[in-house]
Structure 1
Amino acid sequence: MDELFEPAGTLRSAYREVDWASTSLGPVRDWSPTLRAAVDLTLHSRFPVTLFWGPEFVMVYNQAYVELIGQKHPAALGAPAARVFAEIWDVIGPMLRSVRSTGRATWTRDMRLLMDRRGYPEECFFTFSYSAVRGPDGRAEGVIDIATETTTQVLSQRRLIMLVGLSDALSGLEDPAEILDRALRVLRTDPQDLPDVDILVADAAGDAGRPPLPALSSTILRDGDFALETTADVPVMRMRLPGPAPSAETVLVARLSQHLPLDDGYVGFVRLLGATVAQALQRAQARQAERRVAILERDLSERLQRSLLTPPAQPPGTEVAVRYQPAAERARIGGDWYDAFLLPDGALTLVIGDVAGHDQQAAAAMAQIRNVLRGVAYTAGKPPGGVLEGLEATTRGLGVNVLATAVLARLEQAGNGVHTLSWSNAGHPPPVLVAPDGTATLLRTPPEMLLGVQAGVARGDHRVTLAPGSAVVLYTDGLIDRRDAIIDDGLAELVRSLTGRHGSTAEQLCDELLARFAASSDDDIALLVLRIPPEPAGTPG
């Protein structure tokens, strides 16, 4: 063998077996210096290189190039390119002829070719350059191809784009039927990997129980809800999905490409597609279950809240309106409460309070302290401060350990439509007095300790006269306290909102305050409005 082929390494025997004299290149000893130099360069390169020489583009290549053409080697060595690459000659033939006739090189990035190198037309991608190899006279004697295969990179990027797109498309969807429809539309955008794909939904007979996926012609892989099989030599992936209803059998079916090797990357990709759809359905089912539980909890909470927050007493000559609005993101129950009830002497007791916490435990504590307060107020016959002291002593004695703020008020008639309101404040936001002329004022008092902090705390009493047309607004801090503002700002805004509202009824005041403040609140709100209606026109004073 000519010493020219010594650098061919493992290809030396293949070069030896080629009858070069019968090719258009002729005997090796007669090869032109240009061809010999090009072959020497090719065989010394570790990068995939091939020469297409002469009018027939006879192929001479190195060991690295063998990996690119697969089973075409060794028959391709010394053979015309049109015969070696018959399946893609309509693409590369004109390129080679153009380079040989014009001398201008080509550059192609990630070209898709269906090349038969493993017994089937395989989808391949290559980045390569065809360049003329010129003889001493300047004419192109051949073409050199320096190439690299980019199939792995292109397929990986294509599949990653599909997976990300599918995940994004299903994100946030909660309707199983919409998930299946959206998934199918996205999956059908990749005909190279999924030539045919569908999602089949059918009612399972009786108790589905997860029957096995029925077999096709032959099984390649079966793993739980995933099966890879063939029918008529076409690979088919099937994956059971969580059904949109308990009685539904849902299966993702995809016919796979006959132009791609059924390797771990391809199989893993289609499994990930199925798993992405399955996870979206599972998330939707979990959210639906959570919603059902939340609805049940809200219904239960609302019934419990209605049983705890009874309608207020409405003695003659007064208007009393109440509201309770839970935080939007919580179950409709918490530690805020209101109360209005009559004492044996006919006085009206008004209460607004807030037990620490926003859950069933806080509601239970609120129910206990509310009922104890009712009992103490009804039997003690004391002013508001004394009632709160009795409440503190009783709850401690009964082991009801809670922290709470509260305003307890007592309304008594003073004659001629005038009423007297006395109250005690245990660490609660101050009530607002709306005078008959529309002036709104905070009923501020020296700060006193919360309920449940310290035993034996003396509570003060305060008094104000309410003329006809006056109103007093009691509220919990959810009405005016905001995370992005100090509470004094909220109190000032409340006073501004109530100024000039002396013409509103107690019910209207409640509605107006909720409309103004509730939307921006992230806490429970309890409201109690007491109003002394103005005397009818012409009534003697």
Structure 2
Amino acid sequence: MSARPWVPAGGWAAGTYPLVEWERTPLGRPDTWPAELTAALDLVLSTRFVAALIWGEEHTVLYNQAFAQLLEPGQGQVALGNPGPEILGEAWGVIRPAVEEALTTCEGTWTEDEHIRLRRSEIIENCWFTFSCSPVCSESREGAPRGVALIASETTRQVLRRSRDHDLARISASLSDFTARDDLTELVPQVVMEGGHLLKVALAPGLTDDSRSPEAGEGVALAIAVPLKHPEAGRWHLVARTDPHTRLDADYHAYADAVGAAVGVALDSQAAHASERQLSEALQRSLLSRPAAGLGLEVAVRYHPASNVARVGGDWYDAYPMPDGAIAVMVGDVAGHDQDAAAAMAQLRNLARGVAFAGRLSLPSEVLRDLDHAMDSLGVDEMATAVMAVLEEAGPDGHLVHWANAGHPPPVLLRRDGRTELLEDTPDVLLGVDPAMRRRDHRVELAPGDLVLLYTDGLVERRDQDIDVGLRWLTGIVSSLAGIGPDELCDRVLAAASAQAYAHDDDIVLLAVRGSTG
């Protein structure tokens, strides 16, 4: 027993502890308290950390001012000397295992960043604490400890900052993957809400509206500014609600502003990509002049840029009369999707025309052979696939088609009655590989109303499937389009490709040529 009644040293405890009717508590009058209790309590009251003494079988709780501030408003004095399960509620379920471990093992425990919900203001708050529990032994150190000294440090601010910093990095990374064609009004809310810090998020047009009011139990309504720089990005803001269990403080506002800034970067980037895409397509189309034809042939061409890029590429088409009056048609594809590929595409397209006219060549194998030599002599350090066909009149029976293939997907021959045929043989090597390689010609008769479709690999190749799957799909589509003109056929093939469940990974060029229907 203490030699004299215990008296608190001063401060908050001196004004609070004497007001408690200790006789009604499990501890009894202070003059009956054991020395180890008063010594431990003096330590608890002297520290500025959150601290409490949990004593006896009833887990009676004594605490300092910092601990009292965690209790519900008005409970700082009332709760003194009451059992922990009564005054701590949900928090007792978190603390109890550490308390019992310290009592059982007679060793201290350490718990880091433990989540506890406390009502210490108008809301039940998410809080985090790092705390230790140390057993309080008797002076003789014999027998089991009778109490536990709990010392805690609140880490709520640090935990939330780490979580929000991680979430901002995730949001920025996720938004950076969006393309010019993605619907950010749908995707942005999904990405932002995934972190759980902002709820009921929507991307709304116009400037922010700060007139929104809180709704009970649903957090605080926020209108978050989205700063934008690109002139084509428009004006947007985020509408959101805070976590109802998190206090809206300066850190929370800073996080919301950072989310708005990340969304602004994504919207600016999307607007820039859209502008770049428009410019790229305009440039690409300017490099691909309108085809010329003759001999009663109908020719249609299409250029369809990839759905997931906004850059010029290396796909091209061409159709022009040869010196002997025959008609040449050609499609090709330089590897890559950048300005270099586009420049190489334009160079190869013009070179092909040049060698055909300069050499007065009519066989496609000769044009491709001389094109290979020109590329080697002029230092065009690129590789490309291409297929070229030359059509000449064959009287009333239609046209004779000569074609040569340099590593390109095979053309599709559509007969007037709907039969299809892939004009495939073992293709020759790509352009730019070996200028000395011998190239071969192939022939097929084109009856009146028959059609030949040339295309680039973006139409039939996918990373997750063999090209044969794409070729079967293409021949099936084309066979259902017998009897329609080249223009409509190209449009319907592109529409069928766009209707598939996956985006195009590459540009698509189509060239359809049909013999006279009489």
Q: TM-score, normalised by structure 1?
A: 0.61
Deviations 1:286-312 (A, max 9, x none): 234323432332232222122211111
Aligned counterpart, 1:325: 304
Deviations 1:210-256 (A, max 9, x none): xxxxxxxxxxxxxxxxxxxxxxxxxxxxxxx958999xxxxxxxxxx
* 1:434 maps onto 2:414 in alignment: yes
Kindly state the Cα deviation for residue 36 of structure 1 after the two structures are TM-superposed.
6.9
* 1:177 maps onto 2:207 in alignment: yes
* 1:490 maps onto 2:470 in alignment: yes
SS at match of 1:106: helix
Pair 467,188 (structure 1): closer, same or farther in 2 beyond 3 Å:
same
Aligned counterpart, 1:461: 441
Contact 1:50 1:146 in 2 (8 A): yes
Letter in 1 for 2:330: V
SS at match of 2:260: helix
Kindly state the Cα deviation for residue 395 of structure 1 after the two structures are TM-superposed.
1.6
Which of 476, 497, 507 does residue 524 from structure 1 map onto? Answer: 507
Pair 380,96 (structure 1): closer, same or farther in 2 beyond 3 Å:
closer
1:149-164 matches, within 5 Å, as: 152=154
Aligned counterpart, 1:55: none
Q: TM-score, normalised by structure 2?
A: 0.64
Contact 1:342 1:348 in 2 (8 A): yes
* 1:476 maps onto 2:469 in alignment: no
* 1:416 maps onto 2:396 in alignment: yes
Contact 2:399 2:447 in 1 (8 A): yes
Find the aligned partners of 1:342 and 1:358 in 2 and give their Cα distance: 29
Kindly state the Cα deviation for residue 431 of structure 1 after the two structures are TM-superposed.
0.7
Find the aligned partners of 2:18 and 2:367 in 1 and give their Cα distance: 120
Letter in 1 for 2:374: T
Find the aligned partners of 1:23 and 1:419 in 2 and give their Cα distance: 110
* 5+ long unaligned stretches in structure 1: 27-32, 52-59, 71-84, 115-122, 128-144, 192-196, 202-240, 247-265, 536-541
Find the aligned partners of 2:149 and 2:2 in 1 and give their Cα distance: 27
**Larger Cα Rg: Structure 1 or Structure 2?**
1
1:497-512 matches, within 5 Å, as: 497-512=477-492
Q: RMSD in angstroms over aligned alpha carbons?
A: 5.0
Contact 1:468 1:532 in 2 (8 A): yes
Kindly state the Cα deviation for residue 161 of structure 1 after the two structures are TM-superposed.
9.3
Find the aligned partners of 1:187 and 1:396 in 2 and give their Cα distance: 75
* 1:447 maps onto 2:427 in alignment: yes
Pair 200,478 (structure 1): closer, same or farther in 2 beyond 3 Å:
closer
Letter in 2 for 1:364: A
Contact 1:353 1:476 in 2 (8 A): yes
SS at match of 1:3: coil
1:75-94 matches, within 5 Å, as: 88=74
SS at match of 1:459: coil
Contact 1:338 1:526 in 2 (8 A): yes
1:252-401 matches, within 5 Å, as: 270-331=249-310, 333-382=312-361, 383-401=363-381
Kindly state the Cα deviation for residue 284 of structure 1 after the two structures are TM-superposed.
3.4
Pair 291,326 (structure 1): closer, same or farther in 2 beyond 3 Å:
same
Contact 2:281 2:305 in 1 (8 A): no
Find the aligned partners of 1:379 and 1:151 in 2 and give their Cα distance: 86
* 5+ long unaligned stretches in structure 2: 45-51, 92-117, 130-146, 168-192, 232-246
Pair 440,187 (structure 1): closer, same or farther in 2 beyond 3 Å:
farther
Pair 351,170 (structure 1): closer, same or farther in 2 beyond 3 Å:
farther
Kindly state the Cα deviation for residue 343 of structure 1 after the two structures are TM-superposed.
1.6
Find the aligned partners of 1:483 and 1:489 in 2 and give their Cα distance: 12
Which of 400, 405, 409 does residue 385 from structure 2 map onto? Answer: 405
1:27-66 matches, within 5 Å, as: 35=29, 39-40=33-34, 42-43=37-38, 45=40, 48-49=52-53, 65=64
Letter in 2 for 1:439: R
Contact 1:68 1:149 in 2 (8 A): no
Find the aligned partners of 2:489 and 2:298 in 1 and give their Cα distance: 11
Letter in 2 for 1:522: D
Kindly state the Cα deviation for residue 495 of structure 1 after the two structures are TM-superposed.
1.6
Find the aligned partners of 1:39 and 1:527 in 2 and give their Cα distance: 95
Find the aligned partners of 2:277 and 2:511 in 1 and give their Cα distance: 23
Pair 347,162 (structure 1): closer, same or farther in 2 beyond 3 Å:
closer
SS at match of 1:397: helix
Aligned counterpart, 2:115: none
Contact 1:469 1:502 in 2 (8 A): no
Find the aligned partners of 2:152 and 2:18 in 1 and give their Cα distance: 36
Pair 529,285 (structure 1): closer, same or farther in 2 beyond 3 Å:
same
SS at match of 1:412: strand
